[in-house]
């Protein structure tokens, strides 16, 4: 008899964390991920791994968590579940590169149970500071390839969901060039487990190639300033809109691990608008327009 799905999912997400840390360390060539194991007093714990001041990555984090126990009232109301207990496990990651020509990337895969209710969720998206269309195409092509291997995956629907989700409504801007987002997906558990495993192991397939291509591109202080300004939008989304942030806080998660996704450096310059015809304005026109099919 196979192990319960929650145990298999947790083991998978631990494996994904170790694999992706190794892949990114190899590319960076300088910094290494630390290991910060933590316990949740109400039940469970996790392992937060952070890489800082690398040759390629200014700050990166790959988190694993496995938490459960009594379901707080706010969580029950938010998720519309009847059970008084819950279990959640997942791996989430964020990479803020040094070079403004290299994009930020976020991804996660997760599994949730409450009584007889269960589901998988996850996704990934990319946030460039300068638009390289070939990078956007390569990123989405890699996602399409994984989805195409699994009939339970729905790239067109999940791509549209991602475009809706990673949108700063208070700014009228997309966070970046999208990716996929899926949540509360149930059905065939074995097929979904296989898909999430394939996706998790390939989360960095395209991103590592993009980083390798852009990491040594020369840049100016003005371009770095633009990068830091755009990181401000990333912070705004995570603090105002992100479900993962809210879930972690509602379930008594570890604050340092929840906010580890935030960049080490950021700027908010008042009324900072690039001039028309500049590469910076080109990016703004993209994120303020209708989502594109890459």
Active site residues: 106
Contact call for residues 72 and 44 (beta carbons, < 8 A) = no
Computed from CA positions of residues 98, 128, 243, 47, in that sequence, does the dihedral angle turn out positive or negative?
negative
Q: Which of 65, 9, 63 is nearest to 33 (CA)?
A: 63
Q: Which residue has the tokens 């371009």?
A: 223
Computed from CA positions of residues 162, 168, 172, 176, in that sequence, does the dihedral angle turn out positive or negative?
negative
Cα 179 to Cα 11, 60, 97, 125, 137, distances in angstroms:
25, 19, 18, 4, 10
For every residue of 128-170, DSSP letters joined together read: -SS--HHHHHHHHHHHHHHHHT-TT--HHHHHHHHHHHSEETT
In the chain, what are the helix, strand and coil shares in percent, each to the nearest 5?
45, 25, 35
Contact call for residues 69 and 85 (beta carbons, < 8 A) = yes
CA triplet 20, 25, 31: central angle to 5 degrees? 135
Burial class (CB in 10 A: 0-12, 13-18, 19+), 77: exposed
Q: Which of 68, 52, 71, 12 is nearest to 200 (CA)?
A: 12
């Amino acid at each position: 008899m196979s192990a319960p799905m929650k145990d298999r999912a947790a083991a998978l997400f631990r494996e994904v964390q170790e694999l992706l840390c190794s892949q990114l360390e190899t590319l960076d060539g300088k910094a290494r991920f630390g290991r910060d194991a933590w316990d949740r007093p109400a039940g469970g714990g996790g392992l937060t791994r952070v890489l800082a001041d690398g040759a390629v990555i200014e700050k990166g984090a790959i988190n694993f968590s496995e938490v459960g126990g009594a379901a707080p009232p706010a969580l029950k109301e938010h998720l519309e579940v009847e059970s008084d207990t819950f279990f959640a496990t997942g791996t989430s990651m964020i990479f803020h590169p040094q070079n403004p020509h290299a994009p930020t990337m976020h991804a996660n895969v997760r599994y949730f149970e409450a009584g007889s209710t269960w589901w998988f969720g996850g996704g990934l998206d990319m946030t460039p500071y300068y638009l390289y269309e070939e990078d956007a195409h390569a990123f989405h092509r890699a996602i399409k390839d994984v989805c195409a291997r699994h009939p339970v995956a729905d790239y067109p629907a999940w791509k549209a969901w991602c475009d809706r989700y990673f949108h700063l409504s208070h700014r009228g801007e997309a966070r970046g060039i999208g990716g996929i987002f899926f949540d509360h997906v149930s059905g065939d558990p074995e097929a979904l487990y296989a898909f999430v495993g394939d996706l998790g192991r390939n989360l960095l397939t395209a991103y590592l190639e993009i980083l390798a291509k852009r990491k040594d591109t020369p840049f100016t202080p003005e371009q770095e300033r633009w990068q830091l300004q755009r990181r401000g939008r990333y912070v705004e989304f995570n603090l105002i809109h992100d479900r993962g942030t809210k879930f972690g806080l509602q379930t008594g998660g570890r604050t340092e691990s929840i906010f580890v996704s935030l960049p080490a450096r950021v700027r908010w310059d008042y009324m900072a608008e690039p001039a028309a015809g500049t590469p910076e304005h080109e990016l703004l026109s993209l994120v303020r327009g209708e989502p594109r099919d890459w």
